[in-house]
C-alpha cells in the first residue's frame, strides 16, 4: 500500500472519535469538584427530584423516518420531550448519587432513552405554545430558572443529543432545564468528511436560532446557556450571528437572554468563528472556548476538509486578529487544556476530553452554574490576555474554589 493511501484509513479512525455509536451512552465521569465531598451537588434537592429519570425537551429538524427521526433535513422544526434513564433499570437514586460523586465509579452507568413524545411542529403555533408551557412548568421546579441547551457534533443520532442534555443538567445539580437541539447528521463519518453533514449544519443554524427565539419569547427562562461540541460549533456560532443580525446586537441580547456560550472541541474553522465572534460576544454573558493540542479529530478535520485551523486546536502562534479578540473581548475565555502539560505530567487529550476529563467537566459545570469568570473558577492566566489553563494543583484547589462559589452545595 502506498503511503498516501493510508491517509483516509487513519483519518477515519481519528474522525470516528467525534462521537461514539448511539448506543450505549455512558454517564460522564464524576467531576473532580464533586469527588470526596468537595461540593454536594444533590443535597438541596427535594424528594420529588430524587429519581433516576431526566426529562429533556428537544427540537429537531431531522426528517421523520418510520417511528424515529432519520438523517435528512426536514423543512419543519419538531418540538417534543424525551425521558432519559440514568443507570440500569434496577438502579435507584442512591446508586446514581454514589456513581455521580465518586471516582473510581463502582460500575459504569448507562444513559438510555426510555420514551419520546412529539408535541408538534413550527407549522402549528398552538403546538409551539404547548411545548413552551411545558418548559415553563419545568422551570418553576428548579431554583435557577435557567436552561441549558446542548448542540451535538457529527456522527450521532437523536439518543445522543438527549443523553448529553440530560447529563449536563444532572451534573449541574438538576437545577437547569435541559433542551437538546438535534440537527441532522449521519451515523457514519464519511457523510461529514464529504460535506453532506457540513451542509446539514449550515442549513440547521436557522432552526437553532428559531429554538432560541421560542425559548426566549415564550418562556420565563432567566438565562439560556448553550453548550456545543465538535461540529455543533458550526451550527451554534452561525445561529448567534443570525440572531444578532435581526435588529442589532443590543436588541438581540436583551431579547435572547443568553448566558454562558461554551464551544467544546469546536470543529469550526477559526476564520469563520472570528467573523461571528463580535456577535457571539455581544449576545452572551460569557464565551468559553475549550482547546487541546491532543484532539486528533479536529486536526484531521482541518487537514482533510480544508478551511484552516479549527477552533478546538491549540494554535502554535496566535494571529494578530486572535490576539486583538482576546484583548478586546473581556468575556471571551480561551481555555488551553494542554498548556502546562509538562509541569503537571500529562496532557488532556482526545475529542471527548471536555466531558471525559474530570478537570474540564468541573470547570464547565462551575461556569454554567455560577457564571463566574475563569480566575474565580480556579483557572490560571496564560501569557496571552484572555487565555487560561489548568494549574498542576487544580484538584487540590478546586474544592476550596467550589465551596467558595457554592457554599458547599448548590
Q: Is the pLDDT of residue 143 over 70?
A: yes
Domain that holds residue 74: 3-406
Cell of residue 148, nine digits: 441549558
pLDDT band per the 50, 70, 90 thresholds, residue 6 = very low
pLDDT band per the 50, 70, 90 thresholds, residue 192 = confident
- Dist CA 341 CA 12 (whole Å): 27
Whether the CA torsion 227, 222, 279, 360 is positive or negative: it is negative
Smallest Cα–Cα separation from 171: which of 365, 17, 18, 308? Answer: 365
DSSP 40: B
| pLDDT tens figures, 234-285 | 999 999 999 999 989 999 999 999 999 999 999 999 999 999 999 999 999 9
- Dist CA 137 CA 131 (whole Å): 10
Smallest Cα–Cα separation from 148: which of 125, 180, 171, 118? Answer: 180
Q: What is the mean predicted confidence (pLDDT) over 95-119?
A: 96
pTM across the whole model: 0.94
Per-residue confidence (pLDDT) for residue 23, from 0 to 100: 52
Q: Is the pLDDT of residue 5 over 60?
A: no
What lies within 8 Å, CB to CB, of 188 at 6+ separation is 155
Per-residue confidence (pLDDT) for residue 67, from 0 to 100: 86
Pairing of strands 110-121, 53-65: unpaired
Cell of residue 356, nine digits: 471525559
User: How many folded domains does the chain comprise?
Assistant: 1
- Dist CA 113 CA 120 (whole Å): 20
**Other beta carbons less than 10 A from residue 190's beta carbon:** 14
DSSP per position, 382-393:
-SSTTEEE--TT
| pLDDT tens figures, 341-395 | 999 999 999 999 999 999 999 999 999 999 999 999 999 999 988 999 999 999 9
Per-residue confidence (pLDDT) for residue 1, from 0 to 100: 38
Q: Is the pLDDT of residue 134 over 50?
A: yes
Whole-number average pLDDT of the chain: 93
pLDDT band per the 50, 70, 90 thresholds, residue 97 = very high
Q: Is the pLDDT of residue 159 over 60?
A: yes
Per-residue confidence (pLDDT) for residue 189, from 0 to 100: 81
What lies within 8 Å, CB to CB, of 263 at 6+ separation is 228, 233, 236, 237, 273, 287, 288, 289, 290, 311, 312
| pLDDT tens figures, 162-178 | 999 999 999 999 999 99
Lowest mean pLDDT among 6-10, 49-53, 358-362, 396-400: 6-10
Amino acid at each position: 500500500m502506498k503511503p498516501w493511501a493510508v491517509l483516509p484509513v487513519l483519518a477515519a479512525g481519528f474522525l470516528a472519535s467525534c462521537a461514539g455509536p448511539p448506543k450505549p451512552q455512558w454517564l460522564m465521569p464524576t467531576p473532580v469538584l464533586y469527588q470526596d465531598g468537595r461540593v454536594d451537588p444533590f443535597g438541596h434537592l427535594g424528594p420529588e427530584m430524587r429519581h433516576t429519570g431526566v426529562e429533556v425537551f428537544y427540537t429537531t429538524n431531522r426528517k421523520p423516518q418510520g417511528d424515529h427521526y432519520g438523517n435528512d433535513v426536514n423543512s419543519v422544526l419538531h418540538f417534543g420531550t424525551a425521558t432519559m434513564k440514568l443507570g440500569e433499570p434496577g438502579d435507584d437514586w442512591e446508586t446514581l448519587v454514589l456513581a455521580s460523586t465518586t471516582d473510581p465509579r463502582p460500575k459504569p452507568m448507562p444513559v438510555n432513552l426510555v420514551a419520546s413524545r412529539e408535541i408538534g411542529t413550527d407549522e402549528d403555533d398552538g403546538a409551539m405554545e404547548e411545548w413552551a408551557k411545558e418548559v415553563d412548568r419545568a422551570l418553576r421546579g428548579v431554583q435557577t430558572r435557567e436552561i441549558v441547551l446542548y448542540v451535538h457534533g457529527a456522527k450521532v443520532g437523536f439518543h445522543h443529543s438527549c443523553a448529553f442534555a440530560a447529563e449536563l443538567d444532572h451534573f449541574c445539580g438538576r437545577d437547569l432545564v435541559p433542551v437538546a437541539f438535534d440537527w441532522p447528521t449521519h451515523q457514519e463519518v464519511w457523510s461529514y468528511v464529504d460535506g453532506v453533514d457540513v451542509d446539514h449544519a449550515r442549513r440547521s443554524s436557522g432552526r437553532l436560532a428559531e429554538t432560541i427565539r421560542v425559548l426566549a419569547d415564550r418562556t420565563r427562562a432567566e438565562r439560556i446557556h448553550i453548550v456545543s461540541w465538535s461540529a455543533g460549533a458550526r451550527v451554534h456560532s452561525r445561529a448567534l450571528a443570525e440572531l444578532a443580525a435581526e435588529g442589532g446586537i443590543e436588541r438581540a441580547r436583551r431579547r435572547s437572554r443568553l448566558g454562558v456560550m461554551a464551544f467544546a472541541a469546536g470543529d469550526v474553522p477559526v476564520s469563520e468563528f472570528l467573523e461571528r465572534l463580535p456577535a457571539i460576544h455581544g449576545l452572551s454573558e460569557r464565551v468559553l472556548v475549550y482547546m487541546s493540542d491532543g484532539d486528533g479529530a479536529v486536526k484531521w478535520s482541518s487537514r482533510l476538509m480544508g478551511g484552516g485551523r479549527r477552533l478546538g486546536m491549540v494554535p502554535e502562534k496566535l494571529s494578530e486578529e486572535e490576539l486583538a479578540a482576546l484583548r478586546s473581548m473581556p468575556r471571551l475565555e480561551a481555555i488551553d487544556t494542554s498548556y502546562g502539560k509538562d509541569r503537571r505530567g500529562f496532557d488532556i487529550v482526545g475529542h471527548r476530553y471536555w466531558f471525559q476529563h474530570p478537570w474540564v467537566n468541573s470547570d464547565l459545570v462551575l461556569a454554567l452554574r455560577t457564571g463566574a469568570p475563569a480566575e474565580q473558577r480556579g483557572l490560571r492566566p496564560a501569557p496571552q490576555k484572555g487565555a487560561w489553563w489548568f494549574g498542576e494543583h487544580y484538584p487540590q484547589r478546586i474544592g476550596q474554589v467550589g465551596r467558595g462559589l457554592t457554599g458547599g452545595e448548590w
